Amino acid sequence: MISKKVILVGDFATGKTSLIRRFVDNQFSDTYLSTIGVKISKKKLTLANGIEVQCMIWDIEGGTQSKPVNTTYFTGTHGAFLVADITREETINHLSDYLAILKEKYPGVPVIIALNKSDKLPLEDAKNRVDKVAEAYKGDIITTILTSAKTGEGVEEMFYSMAEAMTAG
């Protein structure tokens, strides 16, 4: 089994903790709990090719205009999720800031964008936003995934896609 560190980065209240909780414990809560610093979870995945991956999932506290994310938590990462709240345009706009940090300090690390809280928009609107973001970041990321920690939509897919990317080659 191989162990890989993956980080979830994004603005505050985008659902990073909820995505992890849905994936690791298959649970969801509407109660907002702000992450302070970092919280580490782990889950073992078995990929289609038989490779077992122990994902060390780092839930990094959300950034704000007055308090940027602490990039020391990025050290040693093998993969990164950039998480935005699909209903809050400013969180989508800030993805470029997080991506710039990753590209500068950790070039070659696979990046997936998760547009979370898809359950709060009509499906067609959500898909249009995903297409727009995917086009804007084409060439810099692996994929853009529509997710909902509440319903579970896209959550397994995002983590398995990352595990595949981190073990490729």
Per-residue pLDDT averaged across 130-135, rounded? 96
Mean pLDDT for 13-25 is 94
Is 80 exceeded by the pLDDT of residue 28? no
Structural domains of the chain, count: 1
Q: Which domain holds residue 41?
A: 2-167
Output b/e per residue, 7-29; b: 16+ Cβ within 10 A: bbbbbbbbbbbbbbbbbeeeebe
CATH code for position 44: 3.40.50.300
Mean pLDDT for 87-104 is 95
User: Where residue 32 falls among pLDDT bands split at 50, 70, 90?
Assistant: low
pLDDT at 68 over 80: no
